Amino acid sequence: MTTSPATDAPIQLHTDPARVIAVASGKGGVGKTWFSITLAHTLAFAGENVLLFDGDLGLANVDVQLGLNPSRDLVTVLSGDVALEEAVTRYSSGGNVGFDILAGSSGSGALGALSGHDVIPLAKGLRMIASRYDRVIIDLAAGLDPAVTMLAASADKMLTVVTDEPTSLTDAYAFIKVMHRHKPDVPAHVIVNMAENVGSGRRTYESLRKACASFLKIEPPLAAIIPRDPKIKDAIRHQTALLSRHPQTAAAKALGVLASELDSQTT
Ligand SMILES: Nc1ncnc2c1ncn2[C@@H]1O[C@H](COP(=O)(O)OP(=O)(O)OP(=O)(O)O)[C@@H](O)[C@H]1O
Ligand SMILES: [Mg+2]
């Protein structure tokens, strides 16, 4: 049995999990990249073989937060210089614990410059390479560009990150709406991030749930409420994974619980 470093809660590995998980938001800056890295790391601690895909192709969010300097990235894949599997970088946090990364490229231009069509080969390659992993996490770019929704559509499950800011709520709703029309079979779950407390986190979730129920006739389940936690900023400032620098902090514990429930959450 494997456990989360933050909670020591047993993490059940299922034979048929939602293998590819897209982390979305609509609005930028709500915590998608930090969350994606920490979820990948938590699952790696649990013994899963994990790939983290930086879907923010032009901005290299993941490697900057982890202090990596990969020689190959997804932009070199898109330009045809290397195959997808050749662009994988290994992140190791000591011992045998680590995960693979397909990195974005800093300063090469935003994903918005790509059309949905441009991203199709990448999405297909990702599905193929996914069979080698227990889990693939896609850290999506902000926005609703076709390239973003195309990558999201290659997932088995979508985790939509939202905060209590009205713009975050409206953008998360817009993302869920577009994806529901485009790919209704990909279930959307909600992550409330930067919650001041459980009560306010629940209220944020309820606002989004009610909008989805009224206008889309769907009720995306709540997957987790993650507290506002100053240790996250500290870890990012030091370009170190949260689970390496502050494994017992409240946000890390929330991720441990989420990871242990990931495959049992209803769609
Ligand atoms: N639970 C939290 N508590 C406190 N600060 C947080 C929390 N989650 C994220 N942050 C802060 O929010 C900022 C943005 O985080 P991050 O880069 O992961 O967001 P993002 O959604 O990936 O942004 P972008 O859309 O630009 O890619 C970071 O500076 C981080 O410190
Ligand atoms: Mg990001």
CA of 104 to the centre of ligand 1 (A): 17
Closest ligand to residue 38's CA:
1
Q: Is 225 in the pocket of ligand 1 (CB under 6 A)?
A: no
Residues 6+ apart with CB under 8 A from 180: 188, 216, 218
56 lines ligand 1 (CB under 6 A): yes
Q: Closest ligand 1 atom to the C-alpha of 25?
A: 21
Atom 12 of ligand 1, residue of closest alpha carbon: 31
| Residue linked to tokens 């896609």 | 138
240 three-class SS: coil
Q: How far apart are the C-alpha atoms of 3 and 189, rounded to whole Å? A: 23
Ligand that comes closest to the CA of residue 29: 1
Using DSSP, state whether 70 is helix, strand or coil.
Answer: coil
Q: d(Cα 26, Cα 167) in Å, to the nearest integer? A: 9
pLDDT (0 to 100) of residue 115: 80
200-205 long-range contacts, Cβ below 8 Å, gap at least 24?
A: 200/164, 201/225, 201/226, 201/227, 203/164, 204/162, 204/163, 204/164, 204/169, 205/162
Q: Which of 25, 30, 65 maximizes ligand 1 atoms within 8 Å of its Cβ, making it the mutation to test the pocket?
A: 30
Question: How confident is the model at residue 59, as a pLDDT?
Answer: 78
- pLDDT value, residue 111: 53
pLDDT at 8: 54
Cα 80 to ligand 1 centre (Å): 32
CATH 3.40.50.300 fits 16-161+174-261, yes or no: yes
In the prediction, which pLDDT does 15 show? 40
* Ligand 1 atom at shortest distance from the alpha carbon of 229: 3
Our answer on whether the CB atom of 23 is closer than 6 Å to any ligand 1 atom is no
- pLDDT tens for each residue of the chain, 267 residues long: 445 555 554 444 334 567 999 999 999 999 999 999 999 999 999 999 999 999 987 777 899 999 998 888 888 888 888 899 999 999 998 888 999 999 987 666 555 577 888 888 888 999 999 999 999 999 999 989 888 999 999 999 999 999 999 999 999 999 999 999 999 999 999 999 999 999 999 999 999 999 999 999 999 999 999 999 999 999 999 999 999 999 999 999 999 999 999 888 655
Q: What is the pLDDT of residue 265?
A: 67
30 CB under 6 A from ligand 1?
A: yes
Query: What is the tens place of the pLDDT at every residue in 66-125?
Result: 999 888 888 888 888 889 999 999 999 888 899 999 998 766 655 557 788 888 888 899
Strands 222-227 and 135-140: unpaired
CB neighbourhood size of 64 (10 A): 17
Q: Where are the chain's structural domains?
A: 16-161+174-261
Residue 20, H or E segment: strand 20-24
